[in-house]
Structure formats: C-alpha cells, structure tokens
C-alpha cells in the first residue's frame, strides 16, 4: 500500500508481498464474508466463490468457498492475464457467463477453456473514492443461470458491502496509527466509532434483508438454517453498533438519552428480555422473580437494555450448571433489579475495573464483545439517578444490583 492524500480515504493497491498479505488479512477479518460466499453458492448452484484482490499485475484470493475442489486457498494466486477479472477490472463492469461453450462472446475465450468452466460471474469491488480493490466472483464446470438480474443484483450488493467494510478496516488502522498521545487516541477513537456505527447501518440492513429472504425459503431447510444464523449474527452486530453509539454519545457530551414515561407494563417488558435470552440459550436454567405492580416512571427500553446486558454478561461468564436468577421489585420509590449467576468469582483486583469502557477480563472468550455493555449499564442507571453495584464471591456467586428511583 502507499499513502493516499486524504488520510481517511482508501489507499491505492500496490503489489508488494506485504500489501497483498495485509489485504488478504483485512478481508479475513470481515466476519460476514464466509456467510456471503456460502449464500452465493447456495443461490447460484455454483461450487466456487471468492473475494479476489485484483490489480494489473496480480490476482489473489482473499476468501474462498470451494466445494468443487478448485484448489485455491486464501492467499493463493492466479496469473491475472488468465482470468476474466482482468477484463472486468478494465471495463469496471460485471462479466457474466451462463454457458461458456455456447456463449456468442466467450465460446472461444482462453479463460473458460484453461480452467474448464462453463458458468462464470465476476463483479467489481470498488471503494467509494473510485479505487478498485478486486472482484467478487464465482465459477463452476456446469452451466448456471447467473445472468438472472436478481443474481447480478445480489453480487453487486455483496460487493458493495465488502468494499464498505474494507474502507472501515482501513480507516480504523490508519486513524489509530496517526494518534500521537493517549488523549488524542481517546478523542479520535470516540469520533471514529460514532462514524463507524452509522456507516455500518446500511450494509447491515442489506444483510438482514438477505437473511429474511433466505428464511422464507421454507422448502429448502439448509437455506432457512443459513438465513436464521445470518439473522442472529445481524442482530448481534446491531447490538454492538448500539453499544458503540451509546458510548460515543456519552463521551462526546450529549449524554445517555432517556425517554421517561409512565410504564404500565415494565414486568412483561423485562419478561420478554428474559424469554429472548432463554430461547437463545436453551441449555441454561434462567429463572425470574418479578414483582412490579402499578406504574413505574422510567425509560422502559433502557431498563430492558440494562437487563439484556446484565443477562448477557451472566450467560458469558456464569457456570453452565448453576441457575441464573433475575429479580425485580419495587420497594417504595425504588426499583431494584438484580441478576445473579454462579461460577468463578470476579477477582478482587478486577472488581474496580469491570464498569470501565473497553475493559474485559483476561480469560474472556474471543469475539465476546467490545467491553462496553457494563459501562453502558452504569450510564443508563446513572441517567435515571440510580446506582449499579456488584458483589462476587465463591459462596454467593456474582450479583449485579441496579437500584433506581421510579417515583
């Protein structure tokens, strides 16, 4: 890579080993890419799909779905002049072939003959500043109806999603490398995550819409299963974005927004959160003891968010064979909401840190979150004028208790 004039614009591709390895790794960090490639193969019937980094001199596979044993792995390369991606790059247009041996344009082309393929589609992956990254492509030795406008539209949407995600990766890397001090790091990070949260909304909505379409394919159980899994991942990503944006609002001065209302149905609202976590974790024993009568003045959605985050924490760190217990009751003018779980207690050294943003214990599982959930809980509770406390011991387990004025 070489620096761009705009420090937040995607950089121009160059063909050094370091730059190629960096881009392969960047695509590998986009968790949605393997699912997108599976969706492509499922919807087209083709056996090989890939995200390729393409320049005038190189063709490099960055991510691969291969059920026909084509043999390429991430990092593997083809001679760019033997591929149709080079032609797609030159024209900046998709190349689509349903049946190469009978196609009036490509029946005698060297690429289908060299790789023994009949169906082929390649769609450009282009950054918003016009820089060309590569192609989203698929091949198969059998004919396939890939010229269907819906298939081409799906490829185009997925290619756009990948380009936006790569831009976010690139912005984050170069923004962080530009920071000169701890204070500058904090300020720029907070501005960046606010932008990142907004930029992810549109592509995430596209992925969610694709998931809904797959779930409707009731006659194809594999697609329904894939769509359900994709929808779950989308919901989790949406939750992470919400956490990031809440954090940004608090740190940038606008504070934790509350919509205070007279909540007549707080207990059923909390029960909905508990039932959702139960459904997602059917092997866990999650119990509830809710005693909330009458009207409670609060932001019900935010209280549900507190419970959801506390339950998520209990699921992630609690013992699998010890019940998780949720208690909620109104005592006088106070709402007391608690979540307790068994398992190894929180270290005394860690207890003062657990409400800090981005902090996670050393034994946390990879991919467990951003470390913002408990911090956001404290901000929501504080915005209500309440407190959030935690106790943890071998004998009593771990218990988070939120106490809020509700009168």
Give all domains of the chain, ordered by start, each with its CATH number: 1-168 (3.30.450.40), 179-255 (1.10.287), 261-405 (3.30.565.10)
User: pLDDT tens, 138-154?
Assistant: 999 999 999 999 999 99
When pLDDT is cut at 50, 70 and 90, the band that residue 253 belongs to is low
Highest mean pLDDT among 9-23, 179-193, 337-351: 337-351
Residue 59 or residue 174, greater confidence: 59
pTM score over 0.85: no
Please give, one letter per residue, the 3-state secondary structure of the chain: CECCCCCCCCCECCCCHHHHHHHHHHHHCCCCHHHHHHHHHHHHCCCEEEEEEECCCCEEEEEEEECCCCCCCCCCEECHHHCCHHHHHHHCCCEEECCHHHCCCCCCCHHHHHHCCCEEEEEEEECCCCCEEEEEEEEECCCCCCCCHHHHHHHHHHHHHHHHHHHHHHHHHHHHHHCCCHHHHHHHHHHHHHHHHHHHHHHHHHHHHHHHHHHCCCCCHHHHHHHHHHHHHHHHHHHHHHHHHHHHHHHCCCCCCCCCEEECCHHHHHHHHHHHHHHHCCCCCEEEEEECCCCEEECHHHHHHHHHHHHHHHHHHCCCCCCEEEEEEEECCEEEEEEEECCCCCCCCCHHHCCCCCCCCCCCCCCCCCCCHHHHHHHHHHHCCCEEEEEEECCCEEEEEEEEECC
Average pLDDT over residues 121-139: 95
Q: What is the pLDDT of residue 66?
A: 96
User: pLDDT tens, 255-308?
Assistant: 677 888 887 788 888 998 898 888 888 899 999 999 888 788 888 888 998 998
Answer whether residue 10 shows pLDDT above 50: no
Mean pLDDT (the chain, rounded): 85
When pLDDT is cut at 50, 70 and 90, the band that residue 113 belongs to is very high
């Amino acid at each position: 890579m070489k620096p761009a004039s705009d420090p937040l614009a995607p950089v121009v591709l160059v063909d050094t080993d370091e730059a190629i390895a960096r881009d392969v790794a960047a695509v590998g960090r986009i968790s949605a890419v393997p699912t997108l490639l599976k969706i492509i193969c499922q919807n087209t019937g083709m056996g090989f799909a890939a995200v390729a980094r393409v320049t005038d001199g190189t063709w490099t596979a960055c991510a691969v779905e291969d059920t026909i044993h084509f043999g390429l792995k991430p990092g593997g390369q083809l001679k760019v002049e033997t591929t149709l991606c080079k032609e797609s790059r030159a024209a900046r247009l998709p190349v689509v072939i349903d049946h190469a041996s009978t196609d009036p344009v490509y029946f005698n082309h060297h690429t289908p003959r060299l790789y023994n393929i009949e169906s082929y589609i390649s769609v450009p992956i282009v950054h918003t500043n016009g820089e060309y990254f590569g192609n989203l492509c698929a091949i198969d030795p059998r004919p396939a109806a890939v010229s269907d406008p819906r298939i081409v539209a799906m490829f185009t949407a997925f290619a756009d999603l990948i380009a936006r995600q790569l831009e976010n990766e690139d912005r984050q890397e170069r923004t962080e490398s530009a920071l000169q001090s701890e204070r500058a790091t904090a300020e720029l990070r907070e501005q960046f995550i606010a932008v990142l949260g907004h930029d992810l909304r549109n592509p995430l909505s596209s992925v969610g819409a694709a998931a809904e379409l797959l779930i409707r394919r009731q006659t194809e159980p594999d697609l329904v299963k894939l769509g359900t899994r994709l929808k779950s991942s989308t919901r989790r990503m949406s939750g992470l974005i919400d956490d990031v944006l809440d954090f940004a609002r608090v740190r940038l001065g606008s504070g934790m927004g509350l919509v205070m209302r007279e909540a007549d149905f707080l207990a059923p609202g909390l029960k909905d959160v508990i039932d959702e976590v139960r459904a997602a974790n059917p092997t866990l024993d999650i119990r509830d003891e809710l005693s909330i009568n009458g009207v409670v003045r609060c932001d019900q959605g935010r209280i549900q968010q507190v419970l959801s985050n506390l339950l998520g924490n209990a699921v992630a760190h609690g013992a699998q064979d010890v019940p998780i217990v949720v208690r909620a009751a109104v005592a006088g003018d106070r709402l007391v909401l608690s979540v307790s779980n068994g398992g190894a207690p929180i270290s005394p050294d860690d207890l003062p840190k657990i409400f800090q943003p981005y902090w996670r214990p050393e034994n946390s599982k990879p991919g467990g979150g951003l470390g913002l959930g408990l911090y956001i809980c404290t901000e929501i509770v504080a915005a209500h004028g309440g407190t959030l406390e935690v106790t943890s011991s071998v004998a009593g387990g771990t218990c988070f208790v939120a106490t809020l004025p509700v009168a």
